[in-house]
Amino acid sequence: MNKSKLVELIRSRKSFLCVGLDTDPSKLPAGISAIEFNKAIIDATREFAVAYKPNLAFYEAMGRQGWDILEETVAYIGNEHFTIADAKRGDIGNTSSYYAKAFFETYGFDSITVAPYMGKDSVLPFLQFQDKWAIVLALTSNEGSKDFQTQKIGEEYLFEKVLRDVASWGTDENTMFVVGATKAESLAQIRQIIPNHFLLVPGVGAQGGSLQEVVKYGMNSEVGLLVNASRSILYASSGGDYASAAAAEAKKMQEEMAVYL
């Protein structure tokens, strides 16, 4: 899915909601398998979401079965939603090339999250595929982000250098950045550096980030936002009504997004 199609999808759905499929077997309703849960969540949220983001750790932990579930989940999502492999890959060039082939070709994802710590040659392989995206970690919402990301490198913060350098390696047609919703106060500053790139914004919902603040400081003329919610939607109910509860939570977020759009 290229940028123009993604923007068109957002405007037609009146939504920039990404549903994170962090499917934890220990939290599933009794008698429901992981693939049944995923399909029910997808069916319940299709009309409200524009993207889905399976977190690879939850599937890798299940072994061979988990990879089968991942493949079936991506196929079930289909082509009408943007798909993100939340894998946080990034290694020497040859290895990154095979990570890119695995997730873009074998599993058919539109995008993959990438850790940029190893530098340019670890990121460039993800930028060689037409209509595919690298979503690069920039300023994350976890407590440990201050250990490196907000340390000064000369006159700028490390996350600012990541934004400037990585943006120069690709374009706003194949590169996005992860910026946590709990860092919303930094979005205006970030938009000075990358005014036209899409941002994947986790942390709204269970982590307490404000959608209003994210929109205020982060939205651009092409929207430029994919706001992710995982636990607040997936586990809105632990009972038999989990799918309808997920739909209600997704609808609430979509309706707020429609107002901002």
Domains and CATH numbers, the chain: 3-260 (3.20.20.70)
Count of beta carbons in the 10 Å neighbourhood of residue 218: 21
Convert the pLDDT of each residue in 134-173 to its tens digit. Answer: 999 999 988 899 999 999 999 999 999 999 999 999 999 9
Looking at residue 204, what is its pLDDT? 79
The overall average pLDDT reported for the chain is: 95
Q: How much is the average pLDDT of 5-20?
A: 98
The active-site residue, picked from 14, 27, 53, 88, is: 88
Q: How much is the average pLDDT of 40-61?
A: 98
Q: Which H/E stretch holds residue 19?
A: strand 17-21
Q: Is 88 a catalytic residue?
A: yes
pTM (two decimals): 0.96
For helices 34-45 and 64-77, the axis angle rounded to 10 degrees is 20
- Tokens representing 191 are 């938009």
Contacts of 131 (CB under 8 A, 6+ apart): 1, 2, 110
Greatest Cα-to-Cα distance within the chain, rounded to the nearest angstrom: 55
Q: Which residues of 84-117 are buried (b: 16+ CB within 10 A; e: fewer)?
A: bbbbbbbeeeeebeebbeebbeebebbbbbbebe
